[in-house]
Amino acid sequence: MDQTIKVLVVDDSAFMRKIISDILTSHSRIQVMDTARNGQDALAKIDQLNPDVVTLDIEMPIMDGISALAQIMKTKPRPVIMLSSLTKEGADKTFESMELGAVDFIAKPSGSISLNIREKEAEIISKVIHASQAQLSNINKLNSNTKPIPSFRFKPNLIKEKNKTGFLVGIGTSTGGPRALQQVLTRLPKDIPAPIAIVQHMPAGFTHSLANRLDQLSDIRVREVEDGELLENGTAYIAPGGFQFRIIETFKGLQAKVSREGNRNGHQPSVDVLFESMAQLRNKQLLAVVMTGMGTDGANGLIEMKSSKENTIVVSESKETCVVYGMPQAAEKTQLVDYVVALPDIAETMVNQLKVRGE
């Protein structure tokens, strides 16, 4: 029998505390132990009740969610899910909380007091259940190798030769992904001879801030992809939240196709949608990377890639460094993964494959 998940709900709004508690207690596996009205109150109740998971509002008086999260991770580490507003400031604070060790976040649909929060019922329940399974030690594990990888320094004639076919890299990730992407992208050399297409499961309004944040930290360019733009080497393109991201071949080169559609595997953007489009590209060598995340998104796309292009290289993040070992496990179950690699070594594995296969 599945163990009961004990939750502390933290929000300065009495309405939000009541609705979130009602949503969670409607599930047979979840017990809301208590609620707290600010970060200070939350810290005292964590000491007293020792909950398995904490839902934590970002904006609160006396002690806000960011300050409380820092204290929780320092003194009583446990899975924390942040509740964030759909604003640029809210997005920036959300990524700050991810860096401090929050497992995941939920975007409030209409501001700090969201009367329509019940629209998020399934997401709130799902994220609390998955947070309870998160490998917390991996969230705060220090990166053992943070040095950037040296530039490629290919000979001009080799670069010209490679551009005839060349590489395309696809990365799929979900829970724990923002931190994982930071560890990978910040190590890549700016002259990496491939575009990098990324699906990070995330709602609309947050992927733009994620791209900007990673762009500031990385030698390569990182941007939220736009419909119709041509993909360039040395640039990472993040799918916008609420849209599917495909890549097509045109006479000009690789082009992004971004469209609002239905969900796939419960997600928009979906890793499978991206990977399946990559499988259709005739003139590209493919490298696919699957990192931390809940669910199985990406596994079917890998099957299509390998069936249409046997020389596709597939890398998955090892269980030892995943926050949630769902997506990499599903990838490995296909028996099509070439390299199972710890997070600190993924960037180097990518670069080595591009060098070896590209020569």
Q: Please state at what angle helix 299-308 crosses helix 271-279, rounded to 10 degrees.
A: 0
Nearest to 45 by CA among 32, 31, 35: 35
**Can you tell me the distance from the alpha carbon of 29 to that of 182, in angstroms, rounded to the nearest whole number?**
33
Is 114 catalytic? The answer is: no
Question: Which residue in 12, 34, 57, 297 is the catalytic one?
Answer: 297
Question: Which residue in 130, 201, 209, 316 is the catalytic one?
Answer: 201
Cα–Cα distance list, 252 to 228, 236, 248 (Å): 11, 19, 11
Q: Which residues contact 348 (CB under 8 A, 6 or more apart)?
A: 145, 149, 187
Whether the Cβ atoms of residue 331 and residue 337 lie closer than 8 Å to each other = yes
Nearest to 97 by CA among 172, 170, 206, 219: 206
Is 345 catalytic? The answer is: no
Q: Please state at what angle helix 346-358 crosses helix 177-185, rounded to 10 degrees.
A: 50
Question: Which residue in 114, 174, 209, 218 is the catalytic one?
Answer: 174
**Can you tell me the distance from the alpha carbon of 137 to that of 152, in angstroms, rounded to the nearest whole number?**
34
Is 67 catalytic? The answer is: no
Give the residue numbers marked as catalytic: 174, 201, 297
